Amino acid sequence: MKDVLLAWYSESKRSLPWRETTDPYAILVAEVMLQQTQVDRVVPHYLAWLERWPSAAALAAASPAEVIVAWQGLGYNRRAINLHRAAQHVAAHGWPDDLTELPGVGPYTAGAVGNFAFGRDVLPIDVNVRRIQERTGERFDSSCTQALFDLGATICLARIPRCGACPLADACPSRGSRYEPLRKQSRFEGSFRQRRAAALRAVAAGEQPTDGDALVALERDGLVVLEDGVASLPA
């Protein structure tokens, strides 16, 4: 299956800016932005981010407030704070051998940065890679990582895979199967997450939101500072 997969990838791979570099900082930025966020939304933010902060040292020198404002539109704003802290660690100490020592970096992100930036023989397992391995019964190696990402994102979809277009279909024991969603994602509209996001946007715009519960949650995550009831971004 590996040879067939890689041949398909060579003809069908998506053109993505973070695939044009082996800079660990640029790859870390991409991987953090891509967590729970669609590729099309990430690309313009990624390019703008690297233009403004092209290195870990440049990002480390920024204020948390600048980072939070620049992150607006990507959601899950705590990722911005963790990325900033990771850049500060790298600027001060270099890249650790164990990348999970960096704030906000778990096994998957460490595997992706290790593979794409440092050439480590590790297959980062995200939901797409896991799904393909389970359906095909194949244990792919690290050279297949980007191909698996694209196959999972465009062909081997979660609920209704496009088996007719899949390069692995002839040898796949799950060909033609349909799947129920594992879980329904909680609604954003009307949720506490939406209230938090609205409160943070307001603070970033220099306004004072009245949603006290949202502000307390944002303060707990290091996204705002509350002094005498007045909210501001961290300096």
- The residues annotated as belonging to the active site are 31
List, in sequence order, the alpha helices (H) in the chain: 2-12, 24-34, 39-52, 56-60, 64-71, 78-93, 107-118, 127-136, 145-154, 192-204, 212-220
Burial of residue 177, with CB atoms counted within 10 A of its CB: 0-12 exposed, 13-18 middle, 19 or more buried: exposed
d(CA 182, CA 229): 42
d(CA 121, CA 107): 14
CB 115 within 8 A of CB 141: no
d(CA 156, CA 139): 16
